[in-house]
Structures are given as C-alpha cells and as structure tokens.
Structure 1
Amino acid sequence: MKANNSLFNNFGFLLPKFLREDYSPYKCNVSANRENYNFRARRIHWQNMIKTWVNTGKNPFLKPVECNNCLFDTRIPNIYIGSDGLCNMCMTYKKNFKLETLQSELETFVNTPRERGVNIDAVVAFSGGKDSAAALYWAKKKLHLEVVAVLVQNGFIPEQVINNGRELCDKLGVELVVLNIELAPFVKDMMDKNFTNGYPCYKCGEMFHKEIQEYCGKQRINRVILGRNWWRWIEPEVRSVRWVKDEASELNLQFFSLPFALQLTEKDVYKMLDDIGWKTVKIHGNSTNCVIPGLIEYPIYQRLGYHPELNLLSREVISGFLDKEEAKSQLADIKDNTDILQKMVNKKLQETQSGLGKQG
C-alpha cells in the first residue's frame, strides 16, 4: 500500500486531494489536543490516518504510527506519516528551514532602533522559567541590550518562582515588572467540560501575549524577546520572528524567539544558567514556572491517550532543542492531581470574588 508504487504513480490523479498532496499540520486547522473535536476535525483525523496507511503500509487504526524523528504519531488529529517515516511537521520543517534566515532575523532585531525618547531596547517576556531566564541573560550580557523583564502572573505561578526571577534580575541589573491576569475562570470552564473546549496553557499564552503587547504599546517599546525554543512560523519558511501591529500605539512590534534563533539546545540553556548560579524551580508537569501543566495532565491524558504536552515537546525535538528520548522521559511521569486542581481553582475564584466584593 505504499504511495510510491507504480499503480499509485500511474493513477494517483484519480485519488482524493488529501492523498495526492503533502501539507503541514497547520494547514489542517484542527487542534493537536482535540479541543472542539467536531465532525470536521474527526474527518481530517481519519484522512490523515488513511494517508499514513497508504504512505507506510502500517494500519494506524490498529496501532498508532509514530514519526521516526519526533514524538508525533497518528493519535494527533493533524499529523500523518510519510513514506520516509517522517511526520508532516518534520517534513515541513526540513523543507523550509534555512539557518541564514534566522541569522538575518537576529541581525534585524538587534539593529532595530528604539522609538524616539525611549531608553529600553526590548521587553523580555519573562515567565520565571529556565528558557526565559536564559533569554534574559543572553539579551543583557551577550547582545548588550537594555531590557526590562515583564512577568505575567496568571495566579498559578508560585511566589518562589517570582522571587527566583527577581534575584536574577537584580543580579543582571534589570527591572522586573509583574502584571496580573485572571486565568482561573477559564480553567474552571475547561475543567467542567473535561477540557474538550480548550487547553489552559493555550489560553494563558494568548492572554500573556496580549498583556505584553499592551505594555509595549504604553511604554513605546518596539521589540519583545521570548524564551521560545521553536519556530514562530514554519511556512512558507521557518522564522523566529512574528511581527504584530499594535493598533492602540500604532507600533510595529517584533516578537522574537531568541533561543530558537540562536539554535540553543536544552544542554546549552542549563549550562548557561549553571554558570550564573540560577537554580531552576522544580515543578511537576514539564514546567519550571507554572503549576497548571502538572495539574491538568491526568484528565487530559485520560481523554486523549497521550500527554497533552506531547505537541510542545515534539516541536522542541524537531527544532533540535532536545533529543527524542529525553522528551519521552519528560512525559513519562503522569500524576493524578485532579483534587489539588479543583481546590486551587476554587480558592482562586473565591479570592477574586472577595476582591470584587471589597471594591464594591
């Protein structure tokens, strides 16, 4: 049943379009974690499994077929495997990656002039975790940029993480600004629907970027550094920068994934942080700053059959940040923290209601 046999080559034009053409996971426009897994998403998932079967001769309806390079497999709705054993994400990355593109973006970012009257080069979107800590250090000490670290507290970042970040900022001579968002109501809504309508970390990321953008607009800072280890865009070419027009300030902002542009590995990051005396806060759930991933992994795993962070770690494997076996080991320890999650979310909601009552 392989796609490269003579029958397929001679009569392939008679096959459905999804079997004839290659496409990236993003072109499928369905969620990797099956939020809003409606009829359309299920149809695309089935098409990708059929395409895998045709390409590889392996039946994914009997047993998931895994990519030879990363952790992606046919349980993920927007993934299919090619005849060479690579998933469509790996194929797209390999096809569109050029190191010179990232180097050019880094040069453009560093040499972008400040807005008139502003004495800061860039905001470092500082989560308090290891990756943004490394990005902060590199921006300040290696690129010699004047930066401000902005941490967005979602209500689930422990004070120890913030204090840890403040110590690093003090050591580097960087101001730490803490902004606040209310994530708990969204987490509660997702919990009530067994996370079929959304994934908290995606919602947090959306709110996080909005807060950072608004801060930049008010302060007229036109560049943002992220501690992100994978691409901002993967097609038509792999890029480390996302340009955003802030309508309120009319600024053109660059959101720049610094560790990815530098092609740093996880070992590079830990060595850098060890050299400056950074102590990573250990939090269950593939996180070094927020407790949410470790609290929600069990119910989502029970629904999906795979770890909800598989998507993130696969992208880090594809980009070369860490190897496949290390990524697998990070997903192996799944704990049922449902009771803790419920109590914590209820407590956050009560605190919010109490605060609104006092204001009233």
Structure 2
Amino acid sequence: MTADNMTADNITAGNMTVGKLFTQRFGFILPRFLREDYSPYQCKVSVNGINYDARTQRIHWQNQIKTWINTGKNPFVQPVECRECLFDTRIPNIYIGADGVCNMCMTYKKNFKQEILDSELQTFLNTPREAGAKVDAVVGFSGGKDSAVSLITARKKLGLAVTAVLVQNGFIPKQVVENGQKLCDLLGVELVVLNIDLAPYVKDMMDNDFKTGYPCYQCTGMFHKAIQDYCIQNHINRIIMGRNWWHWIEPEVRSTRWVTDEASGKKLQLFSLPFVLQLTEKDVYRILEETGWSTVKIHGNSTNCVLPGLVEHQVHRNLGYHPELQLLSREVITGFLDKEEAKHQLSEVRDNTEALRRLVNQKLAERQNAQTEKQ
C-alpha cells in the first residue's frame, strides 16, 4: 500500500479497516473498550452534554477512537453518523461499528424479540384491577398525537375502561387542552388535568444557558411522578404511555417498566402501547384520521408543548446538534419513523430566545401572584 492511500479515512483492506483487522488478530493486548462491544447504556455517562465531566469526556474520547478503528473515519475531524439512524459520534455514549451501524442499533437488533412484546401485552391486559379502582388504566395523555392514539387504541381496540390524565406543565397551550377534551368527549373518557410547576426549573436552566439541563428531561420526571401519585390515590395499577420506543433495551427489549411506590409498596405497570403494537407514524396519522381528530400545530418536535420549539436554538448551539436527535433516533431504530423524515423534522431550528424569556417571566409572575393571593 502506498503512502498516498494510507489516509486516516481510507485505511481499508477489503470491507474491513486495518484497525479492525488488527483488533481481531491482536485484541488481547488492547484495552477492553476496543476489544468488546457494548450498549450506550453500559457507558453510564450523561447525554446531551449535561454534566460533561472528566469521566464523560474520557468515555466519549474512547468511543471516538473505537469508531475510528472500526470504520477508518476520523470522528475528531468530522462526526461519523450511523448508516441506519441519526446517532453519531458527537454523542458521548455512541460509537460506530465496522458495518457502519451504531451501538444503539446493534443492541436493539440483538435484544429485540417480538414474542417478548406479545407476552408483555398479554400480561398488561390480564392484570386485574385493584380493589376500589373505577377504571382499568390511566392513559398518560399529553394532547399530542402519540398519546391520542394510545387513548383511542385502549378504548376502541382493546376495550379498556380508562381515564385520560393530562399533566399541565404550564407550557401546554389552552387550545391543546381544549382539543384533547374534544377527543375524550368523543371517546366517552374522563379527562383529568394535573398541574406541575416547571417554570422555575426552566428559568434556572435558561439563566445557565441550558448547560445544566434540558427542560423536557425535568418535565418527564415530574410528569411520571404526578401520574403515579394519581394512580396510587385512585387504586389504579396500570399506566398506558404514548411512547414509541423501548422502556428497556437490555438484556432484552421491553415495552413495560415496573415502578414500586415507596409509600404504599404498590407496583405499577408503565406500558408503551404504540411500541408494543409496533405502530409507525403513518399508522398513527391513519388512526387519527379515521377517528376524525387532529392535533394542534406547534413548532418544534412536539404536538402538545411549546417548550421544545422555544429552547431548541440555545440547546442546539451548546451541543452542536438538535436536542431531540436522541428521541427521534430511537423512533427510527424501532421503525416508527424513517431516517429522512426524522432529519426533516429536525431541520428547522428557530431562535425563540426572547419569546422563551417573556413566557417564562410571565409564568413566574403568575406563580408569584397566586402565592400572594393565598396568603
């Protein structure tokens, strides 16, 4: 081989990089991270650049080295993207294999078994109500398309008696709630609205230029806590989510997460209905159309909350990629969404910094006034 064709991005032998050949033949002398494959979750590092500490930087560097050896492409010069999803080497716990596929795709393919999802569906449907429960399950209903399809499917296809619970974080527009009420009325389902106070957390993140967190992650934790508390109070042991990807990916892909309430000791099932049924985005829109209901149009990767579209510019500027890239990558991996459509959904990033600041200040002022009135 001449010096001319021994560039960092083109050191190959057949379909395999020289680095990969070396790893196979002399792997016993290499560090463990180069010898073994592992899932992103085994890296145990933060995602989306949050708390990018020394350990995270080291793991990220190792995954980039591993990618370079596997593919012959230098991720320190230009990010290397998975050929099947949107994950790339800018994300600390991701590396790309010799076949061009990332470790998240690799883990999903290795651990996915349809029979496990089928078994989880039967377990969910056959779980009896707790004494005192008036419905079979709660549907975590955001007012968006995916949770709407979960609500429709639970009622019309599975025949479950359900209550729709919408957790209002202060950034879900009034018209989304009203639109959600129309769907619940159409299905004969009660809509319960629970309120959480997200604005102070958003203000703190905003003041730190979103280097200390991403509001959607904070909201998710508060959302789950509010719904779980409601279920315990009302003796409900099953929660249906509009999630399009796994709850667990190893040691096997699962749609269900079991949660034990600390105070009561009761166990709850959090069940991802669109995922267990292997619905696609086309299926979702078809079901909505057949039902005669549509979502409110909102900028950003959301059909119910304005926050993702308001913070995307600042977070994108910090990370170098869209903050919702991870979520859409998971949807691509599961087959819910195709890669090109996912890229299209992340292509328009608007700078809504001032609109965000005004809205957060308005929410905090409303919060202060409400506290003053109580006093």
TM-score range, shorter chain: over 0.9
2:325 is the counterpart of 1:298: no
CA distance in 2, matches of 1:54, 1:9: 11
CA distance in 1, matches of 2:26, 2:193: 61
Percent identical pairs in the alignment equals 68
Distance apart, 1:118 and its partner CA = 1.9
**Structure 2 residue matching 1:35: 3-state secondary structure:** coil
2:131 is the counterpart of 1:116: yes
**Structure 2 residue matching 1:229: 3-state secondary structure:** coil
Distance apart, 1:247 and its partner CA = 2.2
What CA deviation, in whole Å up to 9, does each residue of 1:65-93 have, x standing for no partner?
A: 00010000001111100001100000000
CA distance in 2, matches of 1:288, 1:6: 47
Structure-1-length-normalised TM-score: 0.98
2:208 is the counterpart of 1:213: no
What CA deviation, in whole Å up to 9, does each residue of 1:85-125 have, x standing for no partner?
A: 10000000000000110010001101100012322100000
Distance apart, 1:31 and its partner CA = 2.5
What CA deviation, in whole Å up to 9, does each residue of 1:249-286 have, x standing for no partner?
A: 32210000000000000000000001111121110011
**Structure 2 residue matching 1:68: 3-state secondary structure:** coil
CA distance in 2, matches of 1:295, 1:105: 37
Aligned residue among 248, 251, 254 for 2:266: 251
Distance apart, 1:189 and its partner CA = 0.6
**Structure 2 residue matching 1:150: 3-state secondary structure:** strand
Residues 3 and 56 in structure 1, CA contact (< 8 A), matched pair in contact too: no
What CA deviation, in whole Å up to 9, does each residue of 1:187-221 have, x standing for no partner?
A: 01111111111110010000000001100000010
Aligned residue among 195, 206, 222 for 1:191: 206
Residues 217 and 248 in structure 1, CA contact (< 8 A), matched pair in contact too: no
Distance apart, 1:243 and its partner CA = 0.3
CA distance in 1, matches of 2:130, 2:22: 61
Which runs of no fewer than 5 residues in structure 1 stay unpaired? none
**Structure 1 residue matching 2:231: 3-state secondary structure:** helix
CA distance in 1, matches of 2:28, 2:368: 61
Match of residue 315 from structure 1: 330
Match of residue 126 from structure 1: 141
Which residues in structure 2 correspond to 1:272-291 (within 5 Å)?
272-291=287-306
Match of residue 29 from structure 1: 44
CA distance in 2, matches of 1:6, 1:307: 35
CA distance in 1, matches of 2:22, 2:52: 35
CA distance in 1, matches of 2:87, 2:21: 29
Match of residue 229 from structure 1: 244
Distance apart, 1:7 and its partner CA = 2.9
Match of residue 122 from structure 2: 107
2:345 is the counterpart of 1:330: yes
Over the residues paired in the alignment, what is the CA RMSD in angstroms? 1.0
CA distance in 2, matches of 1:55, 1:7: 10
Give the partner amino acid of 1:47. Answer: Q
Match of residue 90 from structure 1: 105
- Give the ranges of 4+ consecutive aligned residues of structure 1 lying more than 6 Å apart after TM superposition: none
Residues 23 and 34 in structure 2, CA contact (< 8 A), matched pair in contact too: no
Distance apart, 1:6 and its partner CA = 4.3
Give the partner amino acid of 1:150. Answer: V
Q: Highest CA radius of gyration, 1 or 2? A: 2
Give the partner amino acid of 1:288. Answer: T
CA distance in 1, matches of 2:81, 2:213: 25
CA distance in 2, matches of 1:26, 1:3: 28
2:192 is the counterpart of 1:181: no
Structure-2-length-normalised TM-score: 0.94
Give the partner amino acid of 1:155. Answer: G
CA distance in 2, matches of 1:190, 1:16: 38
